[in-house]
Amino acid sequence: MKKAQAALEYLVIICLGLTILIPLAIYLHISASNYSQDVNLLLASQSLEKLGQVIDWVNLQGEPAKIKVKILIPNQIENISFLGRVMIWKVRTSAGVSTLYYVATTNVTGNLPDLPGIYEVVVEAEERGVSVYVG
């Protein structure tokens, strides 16, 4: 009888421990996921702003100005596009796709990869605007 009571008490203690640990583990997992998404959005925003400022600077210098800049493209980038003066970065999140954009002082053409990594990007002034490409 005493062995059965001791085993039952151990089982109750383990169940109480799991009752506390499982929700805590779920909460920590969700928090880490949200933090990762926030960091990706922040990194994308900072990279877009940095690239936009370099584009504006090269445009002010005029042709044949050219500069290389290192840009971090974070995880979860879905698409990077250039439409006239606007650079658009689309970032995947759990809530859907967030769109980040930068309006430059001139027309911007180019192509950037949407794979994560650090890239050396060439920003070059041309007759009709600025060209952006990985160099």
What ranges do the domains of the chain cover?
A: 2-134
pLDDT lower than 50: segments of the chain: none
Q: Single out the residue of 83, 124, 119, 113 nearest to residue 101, CA to CA.
A: 83
- pLDDT at residue 38 in the model: 84
- pLDDT at residue 39 in the model: 87
Model confidence, pTM: 0.78
- pLDDT at residue 133 in the model: 95
- pLDDT at residue 95 in the model: 84
- pLDDT at residue 129 in the model: 93
Residue 68: strand, helix, or coil:
strand
Which residues lie below 8 Å from residue 12, measured CB to CB, with a gap of 6+? none
- pLDDT at residue 93 in the model: 87
Question: Rounded to an integer, what distance in angstroms lies between the CA atom of residue 27 and that of residue 33?
Answer: 10
